[in-house]
Amino acid sequence: MGFKSLVPVAAVAAAFAMAPEAAAVSAPRLLINQDFPDPDVVKTASGYFAFATGTKTTRIALATAAAADGPWRVAGDALGAVPAWAKPDGGFWAPDVTQLADGTFVLYFAAAQTAGGEMCLGAATARKPEGPYTPAGGRPLVCEPGDHGDIDPQTFVDADGSRYLLYKSDGAATGPPSAIWAQKLQADGRTFAGPRTELLRADLTAEKSVVEAPSVVKTGSRYLLFYSADTFESTGYHTCYAAAPTLGGAFVKADGRFLSTELLGGKVDAPGGADVVDGHIFFHGWLGGGRTARGLYSLPITFPGDVPQLG
């Protein structure tokens, strides 16, 4: 992306290498007690909207609330039609919604393409945050053959109005591990402006070759990249973060986990898919001790000294 670092990488490493594992000072709040995985939360003038991976009855699940803490109401399906390039029964994963300067809302999602079946990223548009969203274009937005699948889109708008799309490449057992990428978008939200940049990859043993679900927060002097690691069906699935002086990196992973089953005192099983909005970190976790449904949770979050802190 051509970013120039304003702070030496060594300084960032020193600031975050000693970051302690986070400890929640309050119990996580269960907002949606039914399947609502991979949440994306959007604050608008008319309230809060949340989007999630599709269920048996929805392509992209939708929920609404007047306030961040709820009460939340599951309100149906946000995606109005199946894209021409996607399998109707292949699933629609990990959505993200952003509003463009002209007022248009864009929904990004991952779906299995008809040819080959690998996961690719698509986009759909609407005039209202709740949709219904109409698929845009006859081809995927991102579908890199060497990635072995692209999922988990997430947008970030910088202070100067520049908009970026982050996502995960799946990786493969015999090739590069999974990684998180960023690519600048043009004003239409569907055309890229330049090549993509790798932000980080799964290079730690505890990550089990998985990094995914990126979400970026800009603090006073740093960019914080939250991401999930380990296998999502495992109790060891957790949320971490990395920091950099610019969105182009280099991102330095904090020492220790930020959200995990253990750190949350067992109150949430496998917390992941985090999204930070309006002083809250939203995330999912398995419900009822099983592996059939993931509910939506939240905790307050602040950033004293550019370091995330729960509660």
Return the active site residues.
38, 212
Contacts of 201 (CB under 8 A, 6+ apart): 171, 176, 177, 178, 179, 180, 211
Instruction: Give the chain's radius of gyration (CA, Å).
Output: 18
CA 235/CA 219 separation, integer angstroms: 30
